[in-house]
A and B are shown apart, each in its own frame.
Chain A
Amino acid sequence: MEVSQFRGSTPANISPPSNDGKGGYEPDGREDERALVRRAQDGDRDAFGELYRTHLPAVSRLVRFRLGAEDEDAVSEVFLRAWRGLGSYRDTGVPFAAWLYGIARHVAIDSIRKRGRDEPREVLPDRGVEPMTAEILTLRGAIEHLPTEQRQVIELKYLVGMTNEEVAAAMGTTPGAINAKQWRALKALADVLEERT
Chain B
Amino acid sequence: MSTELDRDLGAWAREELSRERLLAVHGSAAAPILEVHDRLTGAAAAVAVPAAQPGWAALLVKIDAPAPVIPLRRPRARRTLSIAIAAALALAGIAYAAASRGSHGGSPTVSPAVSGPILGSPSSAGAGSNDRRSVHAPNTQAGSPSSGGPSGGGSSSPGGTRTTTRGVDGGSGGGGTTKPGDDPHDRDQGTGNDGPHNDQGSGNNGPEGSPPPSSHGH
Residue A10 CB within 8 A of the other chain: yes
Number of interface residues of B (CB under 8 A): 45
**Which one, B19, B36, B44, contacts A193 given CB within 8 A?**
B36
**Which one, B13, B21, B55, B59, contacts A10 given CB within 8 A?**
B13
Interface positions of A from 39 to 53, Cβ below 8 Å from B: 45, 49, 52-53
Stretch touching chain A among B45-53, B189-197, B203-211: B45-53
**Cβ–Cβ contact A10 & B15, under 8 A:** yes
Complex Cα–Cα for A100 and B56 (A): 16
Which positions in B face A, CB cutoff 8 Å? 1, 5-6, 9-21, 32-52, 55-56, 58-60, 62-63, 67
**Cβ–Cβ contact A186 & B37, under 8 A:** yes
Complex Cα–Cα for A70 and B18 (A): 35
Complex Cα–Cα for A22 and B59 (A): 19
**Cβ–Cβ contact B36 & A1, under 8 A:** no
Q: Which residues of B contact A10 (CB under 8 A)?
A: 12-13, 15
User: Given A190-B35, A194-B32, are A56 and B52 neighbors across the interface (CB < 8 Å)?
Assistant: yes
**Cβ–Cβ contact A159 & B15, under 8 A:** no
**Which one, A13, A75, A136, A194, contacts B46 given CB within 8 A?**
A136
Which positions in A face B, CB cutoff 8 Å? 1-7, 9-14, 21-22, 45, 49, 52-53, 56-57, 60-61, 64-65, 70, 72, 75-76, 79-80, 83-84, 133, 135-136, 139, 154, 158-159, 161, 179-180, 182-184, 186-187, 189-191, 193-194
**Cβ–Cβ contact B40 & A154, under 8 A:** yes
User: Given A52-B59, A76-B55, A183-B6, are A136 and B47 neighbors across the interface (CB < 8 Å)?
Assistant: yes
- By DSSP majority rule, is chain B's interface helix, strand, loop, or mixed? helix
**Cβ–Cβ contact B43 & A53, under 8 A:** no
**Which one, A2, A159, A190, contacts B32 given CB within 8 A?**
A190
Complex Cα–Cα for A5 and B23 (A): 14
User: Given A61-B44, A179-B10, are A45 and B16 neighbors across the interface (CB < 8 Å)?
Assistant: no
A-B contact pairs, 10 of them (CB 8 A): A2-B18, A4-B16, A11-B41, A52-B52, A60-B50, A64-B47, A80-B62, A83-B59, A183-B33, A189-B40
CB distance from B55 to the nearest CB of A (A): 6
**Cβ–Cβ contact A187 & B52, under 8 A:** no
**Cβ–Cβ contact A45 & B63, under 8 A:** yes
Closest to A192 in B: B36
Q: Which residues of B contact A194 (CB under 8 A)?
A: 32
Q: Which residues of B contact A154 (CB under 8 A)?
A: 40
**Which one, B10, B34, B52, B62, contacts A53 given CB within 8 A?**
B52
**Cβ–Cβ contact A56 & B50, under 8 A:** yes
Q: Which residues of B contact A2 (CB under 8 A)?
A: 16-18, 21
